[in-house]
Amino acid sequence: MGAQLRIYRRRIRSVKATKKITRAMELISASRIVKAQQRVAASTPYANELTRAVSAVATFSNTDHPLTTESTNPKRAAVLIITADRGMAGAYSSSAIKEADGLVITLKERGLEVNTYLVGRKAVNYFKFRNRPIKNSWTGFSDNPTYAHAKTIADELIPAFIADAATDINGVDELHIVYTEFKSMIAQIAMNKRMLPLEVVEAEGPAPAGLLPMYEFEPNAAEVLNALLPRYIESRVYNALLQSAASEHAARRRAMKSATDNADELIKSLTRLANAARQAEITQEISEIVGGADALASASAGSE
Amino acid sequence: MSDKTLTVEFVTPERRVFSGKAISLSARTLEGDLGILVDHAPLLGVLVDGKVSIEGVDGSVQEFEVSGGFISVANNRISVLGESATQ
């Protein structure tokens, strides 16, 4: 076998091995999207009930809560960026980071300092490589977040918001979150939302018929609100984590699908090249044999 | 007893724990144990760690250990929001 042909065959083998890996990753991601979507669905009833409760308290009490109070003179904002732990997901992490960069620019234009909080190893690496300051980061659960993870994040962010930004270096007046919303299997959109100060929005779904009833609060409206609002934020963070996880799997599935398709293309064209090389080799061998025979024939004819 | 029943939704962030009709429900709030029957006044309370027990329409009682959360009652509809719950 000629050298040319051997090289082609080696490349085909290596592309085939890569294709097997990308195909496997595609299938794994495809099955995980379904699971991630189910978890988003499983968390919806809780989020809806919580929203109902928060709007009920907000409607029937005029208690001012630090989490809903807008600062008159905001000084610093926190940005929570949710990305993936692993790559191989196309532009998933980089589009979230790009969205965050845009947000940071608008915040800075408003004269705010920005504290960054990161989720996912990809964002951490990006920030470390560029020597940008990170306030805090959480890694290792981007593809399978649990409520406990959301709680840890919220437990760090809520005190930062409650602290006074003017005196405390960790204190912030606003909290923004950048995550990737899972619109459908083919559309995931990186977006930013302001989480704090809270604007209570009614979740989608059937609106409660008529007016909300006059609730009695136990122990009292302020206490209930105190306990409800942090849960509300946790549940919003949890929802953002789950949506991002589903988007990550969808992005990875798509990236791996196109990698598999590309490998197929590559194998096809390499096979053609290898065939041509083999054919050229055979042709060359034949012409060498024919040429050799001719030479021998004419040599012996001349000696006679 | 009237033929009215309570509609109970017991949810945690990760799943729906219980959903269905019930005759009564009892839970522990910050102010103490609380029992709810049909036509209870609208109420929103903060739960403390403890048991939530639900008496179904067939008389069977289901108990859950809940840690933290809320209960809201209105128009014979109860929603219990626990941070975590085990049966």
Write the DSSP string, chain A.
Answer: --HHHHHHHHHHHHHHHHHHHHHHHHHHHHHHHHHHHHHHHHHHHHHHHHHHHHHHHHHH-----TTTPPPSS--EEEEEEE--SS--STTHHHHHHHHHHHHHHHHHHTT-EEEEEEESHHHHHHHHHTT---SEEE-S-TTS--HHHHHHHHHHHHHHHHS-TTT-TT--SEEEEEEEEE-SSS-EEEEEEEEES----PPSSPPPSSSPP--EEES-HHHHHHHHHHHHHHHHHHHHHHHHHHHHHHHHHHHHHHHHHHHHHHHHHHHHHHHHHHHHHHHHHHHHHHHHHHHHHHHHHHH-
Facing residue for B44 by CB, picked from A53, A147, A231: A53
**pLDDT at residue number A145:** 92
Interface contact flag, B9 A217, Cβ < 8 Å: no
Alpha carbon distance A188, A179 (integer Å):
10
Interface contact flag, B9 A46, Cβ < 8 Å: no
> Cis omega before residue A230 (within 30°)?
no
**pLDDT at residue number A200:** 57
Tens digits of pLDDT across chain B (87 residues): 456 888 998 988 888 888 889 999 999 888 888 889 988 888 888 888 888 899 888 888 888 898 888 898 888 889 899 888 887
Interface contact flag, A49 B30, Cβ < 8 Å: no
Interface contact flag, B74 A228, Cβ < 8 Å: no
Q: Which two tokens stand for residue B3?
A: 């033929």
- The pTM score is 0.85
- On whether any CB of chain A is under 8 Å from the CB of B62, the answer is no
User: Which of B44, B75, B78 to mutate to test binding with chain A, by most A CBs within 10 Å of its CB?
Assistant: B44
Q: What is the average per-residue pLDDT within A231-237?
A: 90
Interface contact flag, B12 A212, Cβ < 8 Å: no
Interface contact flag, B72 A49, Cβ < 8 Å: yes
- On whether any CB of chain B is under 8 Å from the CB of A232, the answer is no
Alpha carbon distance A246, A249 (integer Å):
5
Interface contact flag, B45 A224, Cβ < 8 Å: yes
Q: What is the pLDDT of residues A111-163, one digit of tens each?
A: 899 999 999 999 999 999 999 999 999 999 998 899 999 999 999 998 888 88
The yes-or-no verdict on residue A208 having pLDDT over 60 is: no
- On whether any CB of chain B is under 8 Å from the CB of A223, the answer is yes
- On whether any CB of chain B is under 8 Å from the CB of A141, the answer is no
- On whether any CB of chain B is under 8 Å from the CB of A46, the answer is yes
Q: In terms of CA atoms, which chain A residue is nearest residue B48?
A: A227
User: Which of A48, A49, A153 to mutate to test binding with chain B, by most B CBs within 10 Å of its CB?
Assistant: A49
Q: What is the DSSP string of A2-71?
A: -HHHHHHHHHHHHHHHHHHHHHHHHHHHHHHHHHHHHHHHHHHHHHHHHHHHHHHHHHH-----TTTPPP
Facing residue for B42 by CB, picked from A45, A151, A216: A216
Q: What is the pLDDT of residues A271-294, one digit of tens each?
A: 999 999 999 999 999 999 999 999
Q: What is the pLDDT of residues A157-191, one digit of tens each?
A: 988 888 877 778 888 888 999 999 999 888 899 99
**pLDDT at residue number A63:** 66
Interface contact flag, B46 A219, Cβ < 8 Å: yes
**pLDDT at residue number A278:** 94
Q: In terms of CA atoms, which chain B residue is nearest residue A234?
A: B13
Q: Which residues of A touch B26 (CB under 8 A)?
A: none
Give the model's confidence band at A206: pLDDT under 50 very low, under 70 low, under 90 confident, else very high: very low
Could you tell me which residue, A255 or B75, shows the higher pLDDT? A255
Q: What is the pLDDT of residues A31-77, one digit of tens each?
A: 999 999 999 998 888 888 888 888 777 776 666 777 777 778 888 99
Q: In terms of CA atoms, which chain B residue is nearest residue A45?
A: B11
Give the model's confidence band at A204: pLDDT under 50 very low, under 70 low, under 90 confident, else very high: very low
Domains with residue ranges and CATH for chain B: 6-86 (2.60.15.10)
**pLDDT at residue number A26:** 95
- On whether any CB of chain B is under 8 Å from the CB of A49, the answer is yes
Query: How many percent of chain A have pLDDT more than 70?
Result: 92
- On whether any CB of chain A is under 8 Å from the CB of B11, the answer is yes
The yes-or-no verdict on residue A207 having pLDDT over 70 is: no
Domain A44-200+216-251 homologous superfamily, CATH: ATP synthase, F1 complex, gamma subunit (3.40.1380.10)
Give the model's confidence band at A198: pLDDT under 50 very low, under 70 low, under 90 confident, else very high: confident
Chain B nearest-CA distance from A82, in A, is: 19
